[in-house]
Amino acid sequence: MTQPVRFAFGLHLHQPVGNFDWVFEQHMTQVYRPLLEKLIGGGCAPASLHLSGPLLDWIEGHQASFLDELGRWVSDGRVELLLAGYDEPILATLPREDRLEQVTRMREALRSRFGVDARGLWLTERVWEPHLAGDLHEAGVRYVLVDDRHFLVAGFERAELYRPWRTEDNGRAIDLFPIDEYLRYLIPFRPPAEFAEYLRSLQTGATAPPLAVLADDGEKFGGWPGTFEWVYRDGWLRDFLTTLDGLRETGVVTLVTLSQALEQVPVGGPAYLPSASYREMEGWALPPTAARRLAALEQELGPDRVKGADGALLRGSHWRGFLAKYAEANRMHKKMLALSALSRERGDPPAVRRAIGRAQCNDAYWHGVFGGLYLPHLREAVWRELARAEAELRRGEPLAWHAVDQDYDGADELWVHSANLSVLLSPARGGAIVELTDLSALVNYADTLTRRREPYHEPAGPSASEPANPEAGELPNIHDLARALEELPPVDREERMIFQERVWPPDISPEALATGTVNPLRSWAGVPVTVAPREEEGALVFRFDCGGGDLTKTIRIRTEPVVRIELTLAWQNDPAWPEDAWFTTELSLSKALLIDAPRATEWRYPIDTVAKSESGYDRTRQGESVTLAWPIRTGAARVTLSFPA
């Protein structure tokens, strides 16, 4: 007699640190709570569930009764809770101690709130790197969820993936569950009849009772555009539960938790997986030109081959590519690493560790179909937590500095810090300020975003995926909602910072600057310069020699009685420049600073980006460009910055 397919159904629910309170409220009310109540109460149990730490914290403070209800489901065996890093970090990119701390914090939270000792782990964004196996073993993790793609890129055949596999790192072993990509795209985007057909094909085609694993974002069930109507109003969830009941009654399916599956299904092994994430993520992590080439190759292969064994070997970059692609993400990440190391040196004050943990939340560090890095409030939240940690670590410290290659670009930055200020100067970038954090207000005034050309800005060819057919009861996938823009948004020639010097022709205007299409007569932005530091009474002074003496740039920083940053500029006129040309310094600011610039003409324009999101394309205000200009014949200028009261 044919045995049933074991079906492990898992959900991951998450909202990032810094997200708007109304988003938490909306998703809890319209998505998470009704989804779980209907699923668990409607026959899709037992199931496995992961709630991220930021979401757990919000629920505890706003809808704690839901956690009581969840606790009853856990006690009844209807829900198995999963671990992850508490603050939903990309575990592979954390120091080992931080990685263990994040997982341990989640285990302790689940034990305290629900009385369970969780051993399975939801891997954030399924970002796997081989060294994780040993550290997760040390953290007490027994099994981890990864994509079936992780196995396919290692050369496994799809037929081998309906079971768990064992891997190890230096003898420290964990088990791996392959998440079925086909199920991820069936549920909830296709009619439930296709889900039933697929499971019947697994049952009849297998030589041993197979295990089918689905673990995916809960936001797909009502949080993404069009899904609320589709899942609830149009009856998808009702039909899915009815279909699932029929499959169970006819012996096609039996529901299991992942822990039960591990006990019932023989483990294969050994399996050694390369660094990997899901297919779309690897494409998003590529630089724009390479991403377009990958898309062209996928179109040449066509949907069938992309989904098949050949397509698995066609890959993008791994997740760390975002840190090379976006300097803003890299800067947050490397500041986090620096402060985490400093915290370890200074005894790990609990408040510091908690702030660093929140700053490790993954969402603001990357960008794909979701806003991520492009959402200012998420970046602001990361910088706020980093500032909170640094303020505690530097309590009572005087003004000081040291040279460090903080962003690992091969050139030292100058890290200036005190009890109320943290500044990063970059001699490799024309002596610009790349971070300007008020540790009292917990604000980084340099937290803007460079306007870049993204692959999705360009006209796109046919998609490598098959389009949905609404008449057949199919919901469009989120990755295919937006294809191309009618008009390309402006891009910046150079990375945005504070104090970037240029010479412009006489007819330059704020409108022309905003387009990014006008060439300066001379630019020192991004040009390596030499620096001579010195100390003055109550101040640190950094004198930059820019361009062989044709520009001298001096930044003087003092913190008492208040923070003041003074820029003095002296330049030599080039005979080739028009007599009525303009000398400028540009400040790209996330929030308004107090600026004193005697005799300067001031030009301002908003820094807006156009980015793909789950709802299409979003135009987002990233900050403001303030350009201070003097007639070229002036030969010298002064600017003083101070923080708002």
pLDDT tens figures, 32-57? 999 999 999 888 999 999 999 999 99
pLDDT tens per residue across span 138-158 = 999 999 999 999 999 999 999
* pLDDT higher than threshold 70 for residue 461: no
Q: CB of 356 within 8 A of CB of 336? A: yes
Q: pLDDT value at position 43?
A: 87
* pLDDT higher than threshold 60 for residue 472: no
- Of 87, 88, 125, 586, catalytic: 125
Q: Is the dihedral of CA 279, 282, 284, 290 positive or negative?
A: negative
CA 162 from chain center: how many Å?
Answer: 30
On average, the pLDDT of the chain sits at 94
Alpha-carbon span 176 to 151, nearest angstrom? 10
Q: Tell me whether residue 125 is one of the annotated catalytic residues.
A: yes
CA dihedral 298, 304, 307, 313 (to 10 degrees): -50
- Of 57, 69, 97, 217, catalytic: 217
CATH code given to domain 401-450+492-612+619-642: 2.70.98.10
> Is residue 621 within a helix (H) or strand (E), and if so which, with residue range?
strand 616-631
* pLDDT higher than threshold 70 for residue 257: yes
Q: pLDDT value at position 460?
A: 61
pLDDT tens per residue across span 590-639 = 999 999 999 999 999 999 999 988 878 999 999 999 999 999 999 999 99
Q: pLDDT value at position 614?
A: 80
Same fold, 5-277 and 401-450+492-612+619-642: no
CA 437 from chain center: how many Å?
Answer: 21
The rounded percent of the chain whose pLDDT value lies above 70 is: 96
Q: Tell me whether residue 310 is one of the annotated catalytic residues.
A: no
Residues 6+ apart with CB under 8 A from 125: 90, 277, 278, 281, 319, 362, 366
Q: CB of 443 within 8 A of CB of 383? A: yes
pLDDT tens per residue across span 93-121 = 999 999 999 999 999 999 999 999 999 99
User: What's the mean pLDDT in 223-231?
Assistant: 93
CA 523 from chain center: how many Å?
Answer: 32
DSSP 242-273: HHHHHHHHTTSEEE--HHHHHHHSPPB----P
CATH code given to domain 5-277: 3.20.110.20
Domain-by-domain residue ranges, the chain?
A: 5-277, 401-450+492-612+619-642
Q: Decide which of 125 and 208 is more confident.
A: 125
pLDDT tens per residue across span 303-313 = 888 888 888 88
* pLDDT higher than threshold 70 for residue 464: no
Alpha-carbon span 439 to 214, nearest angstrom? 44
